[in-house]
Structure 1
Amino acid sequence: MKKRVHGFIQFIGLIGIMSLTLHPVHAAKLPRLLQEVEAKYARATTLEADFSQINVLSALKRTKTSSGHIQFKRPNKIRWETLKPDPNLLVSDGKKFWFYTPPFDEGEQGQVIEKKTSEVQTKFAHALLSGSFSIARNMKVKQEKPSRFALIPKKGTAGTVIRAEIEVDPGEKLIKKVTLLHRDGNRSEISLSAIKLGEPLEDRLFSFVPPPNTDIVKE
């Protein structure tokens, strides 16, 4: 089960951002469209969307796909539910993270891995998906197409990530796709649809109580 959980959190948690330092930068350094997107997202306290994710593993010449639903609540609450092909769930209340994998078959145990938020570095991916572009210091921002932007981290500041790409809907001012390119050739892509900003989300969505017959692992 740990392998399944590891694959699930590869994009959001273990993308090598341990040394990324986040500080505000002046908004004028952002292209105008990204400023407008960021301003729209800043007015909303919540975000939810359906996602489809593609992980390209270069060394193995393998592509993995998944899909599900994500919910964010400012400042740092996350619910990331993968529905296909293998159901699993990531939940954070801002203090703890829970990674839950249900049992494969009836009678088997599920598993939940519990970590402190400080031990799971999600700031980079969370920032991009939630429109907080101005918090990323040590990055160059390039507008490659009218609605596509590349973010290039300064060497040594973003772990294995060498490039991030963001695609937005220029009319709706919504983030539609985020891509991370890693120095080992791996690529992670997340496409968002059915995006809702500012909808009420109850705090109970961002807490987790393990079901019966669940193996609890605290790391």
Structure 2
Amino acid sequence: MLVAVWALPVRGADLVDDVQKKYESLVGFTADFNQNLKNSSSGEGEKRTGTIAFKKPSLVRWETEEPEKELLLVGKDVVWDYFEDDQEAYRYPVEEIISSKTMLKFLTGKANLREDFHVFDEPDSAAGGLFRLKLVPKEPEPGLVMAHVWVDPATHLIMRIAIQDFYANTNDLILKNLKVDPKLSDSLFVFSLPKGVTVHDNTGLDGRTLTQ
């Protein structure tokens, strides 16, 4: 079978390299977000709003305010996912979360656009000046078979990310009020376990280091 390989137009090719350089130089950022999740089989969707803070090398604070409060904290050693209304918290290894091809990998700049993906230029007249690129993973996995990113050509920052998984479910994240390299304390990414919260541990630490 012959496979045709199409080169990117000059603008798109240059933009990929500019985006990569931008995220390599970033110290961190904060942003508000609107997120739209859609289940392909049921057709049901969910809209979420909240805030995101990122600090290199891989610290993330992702707070969902609506429709229910959820706090995802990627710390130095472990990841916490806390659901306030349910009074439950889940703990995972950092490497398991960051190394997978998820939304977090894009936000933390650990997704190498040129090395990890086949990149295609897809002009979008409704993008409000943003430049859209289609990303097809060179090594697809169930959680990501295709993605689109919308880049601000003036700042080389990704302002929107849409991911599709193997089942055609979609996760569309739009960033607003993005601020680059703010001063963020490491304490912002440390989880203090509230009293009475049930912990579901998936790290194998057997209850140790619960406040990290």
TM-score under structure 1 length normalisation: 0.76
* Residues 139-185 of structure 1, C-alpha deviations (whole Å, 9 max, x = no match): 2011111710011113x533342211000111232211000112212
CA contact 1:138–1:157 (8 Å) conserved in 2: no
Q: How does 1:13-92 map to 2 (within 5 A)?
A: 31-92=13-74
Residues 133 and 93 of structure 1, relative CA distance in 2, 3 Å threshold: closer
% identity of equivalent residues: 25
- Letter of the 1:140 partner, please give it: H
State the one-letter code of the partner of 1:113. Answer: Y
CA contact (8 A) 1:50 1:69 kept: yes
- Distance across 1 between alignment mates of 2:76 and 2:196: 26
- CA RMSD in angstroms, aligned pairs only: 2.2
| Poorly superposed stretches of 4+, deviation over 6 Å | none
Structure 2: distance between partners of 1:213 and 1:133: 37
Could you tell me which of 170, 177, 180 is aligned with 1:197? 180
Aligned to 1:107: none
In 2, Cα distance between equivalents of 1:204 and 1:91: 11
Superposition map of 1:66-215 within 5 A: 66-103=48-85, 110-121=87-98, 123-124=100-101, 125-134=103-112, 137-145=115-123, 147-154=131-138, 156-215=139-198
Structure 1: gaps spanning 5 or more residues: 1-27, 105-109
TM-score by length of 2: 0.79
- Structure 2 unaligned segments of length 5 or more: list them: 1-9, 125-130, 203-212
Larger RCO (alpha carbons 8 Å, 6+ apart): 1
Distance 2:60 2:143 in 1: 23
